[in-house]
Structure 1
């Protein structure tokens, strides 16, 4: 009696193993980036001090607008302003320089030839700046709330949602912006143009409620505007209804997906010749 042996099944790596490997790579690279970040005094000053100084300086700008007539309070406006300033100054601007510098030093190319995935390679450098942005926003918003007597946010989940999604979006925009930077020196110019556009079109420096209605309605669909609106709605309770929050989240996710798709196509992993 002959017996036929069953074919040996093809063994594929389990999905959980891939996730564990990616998590390990991400943790290792993040630790290395954190160590490099804390060693640089210029990084600490640029990311931890300058954003707070800019937020303090914007109080003079806000006094030029009729906030009361627009139904806004200075304290709530300053908290939402701090969210935009921190994301742009503590995350977007320095992250562009980091990406370009790693590219020019062939670090990105070497990492990519190994087992590390593209998403992990680009996400790890953002970790120190994202943490700094979170700490900055918590300290600034807490100080403003204490001085203005605002108390705790009415809908804290909207504040957290806006900041977290804003960090993801800002990281994607930074990766996309590096496509226009040939060298680390030119990255400074690109980041300056980028953060001015992000701040001026999001209601960070000029509240949309003080602009002509048609102009303000268009700017509500710009990349960083939903972050400002979610933070303000979360703190004041005004505009915290589910429909408004879902619209802001949808706009944020749409811009994040668009910038991520464009960054995957345009991001350069090797120095430009």
Structure 2
């Protein structure tokens, strides 16, 4: 898996366009979120402007770097028959998919660390109140979105169409999971519905880990929902993932 991850990292670094997009797109989206946050009504939510932007920023990094970044990787390796050849070796199917995801996961985690440090240093945002919960939410997000990326790749015919097939989850997450607009400012019924989206439990755990205020029952519910979505994604991958080029 380490060798496979190293090979994928080399390919990512050689593809300067993909690498720069993975680095700069989350920064641009967080900047856009900061600009739009002037219109948010945060009174009574317990969130400052910087806290709302940066907690959503971690979710943005995960969905852009891990989910949107991995779909074309899986599709390209499938169409090039790399995945088919790897299955003849010692690695299991899960190890092949996980090894391919290592560079994107490492890049996303590094960017999340930078966001936390930048928030504390530049935007006068408090240090994480419950660091283990923040770490748990971030790791859950990486695993969940990598599984969802593999599931989406099964529906994607070409590398060129990868961004299109990934758009529904991206838009649902941006609009309804608290990445741009905190759920606390939405009407109660809308917020309750949005809490069932795949990325929402990750954002809730990250927010609770950074700002505190998430009790054990709420954290357990968010963790259980995130794990349930992960199980659904893994089941879909086991049933539908294609290891050979699509006809």
Q: TM-score, normalised to structure 1's length?
A: 0.87
Task: Tell whether the 8 Å contact from 2:22 to 2:65 is kept in structure 1 after alignment.
Answer: yes
> Structure 1 residue 56: deviation in Å?
0.9
CA contact (8 A) 1:52 1:136 kept: no
Question: Out of 186, 193, 205, which is 2:161 matched to?
Answer: 186
Q: Is the 8 A contact 1:199 1:205 kept in 2?
A: yes
CA contact (8 A) 1:82 1:141 kept: no
Is residue 2:203 matched to residue 1:228? yes
| 1:87-122 Cα shifts (integer Å, max 9, x gaps) | 111111110000000011011111112222100111
Contact 1:52 1:140 (C-alpha < 8 Å) held by counterparts: no
Is the Cα contact below 8 Å between 1:75 and 1:145 reproduced in 2? no
CA-CA distance at 1:152 after TM superposition:
1.6
- Post-superposition Cα deviations, 1:202-259, rounded to whole Å, max 9, x if no partner, equal 11122111111011012112110111111111111122x2111111111111110111
Name the residue aligned to 1:121: 96
Q: Report whether the alignment pairs 1:106 with 2:81.
A: yes
Equivalent in 16, 28, 34 of residue 59 of structure 1: 34
Question: What residue ranges of structure 1 are gaps of 5+ in the alignment?
Answer: 1-25
- Which secondary structure state, in structure 2, belongs to the residue aligned with residue 68 of structure 1? coil
Please state if 1:46 is matched with 2:46: no
Count of aligned residue pairs for this structure pair: 247
What is the CA-CA distance between 1:184 and the residue it aligns to?
Answer: 1.1
Residue 130 (structure 2) pairs with residue 155 (structure 1): yes
| Structure whose alpha-carbon radius of gyration is higher | 1
After TM superposition, give the deviation of residue 47 of structure 1 in Å: 0.8
Task: Tell me the residue number matched to 2:181.
Answer: 206
What is aligned with 1:74?
A: 49
**Number of the residue aligned with 1:92:** 67
TM-score, reference length from structure 2: 0.95
- SS of the equivalent of 1:184 reads coil
Displacement, 1:74?
1.2
CA distance in 1, matches of 2:73, 2:161: 12
Q: How far off its partner does 1:85 sit? A: 0.6
Cα distance between partner residues in 1 of 2:126 and 2:47: 16
- 2:224 match: 250
Deviation at 1:141, TM superposition (A): 2.4
Q: Compute the displacement of 1:150 (Å).
A: 2.4
Query: Is 1:138–2:113 an aligned residue pair?
Result: yes
What whole-Å deviation, never above 9, does each CA across 1:48-73 have from its counterpart, x for those lacking one? 11111110111122221201243321
SS of structure 1 residue aligned to 2:181: coil
Q: Tell whether 2:150 aligns with 1:175.
A: yes
- Corresponding residue SS for 1:268: coil
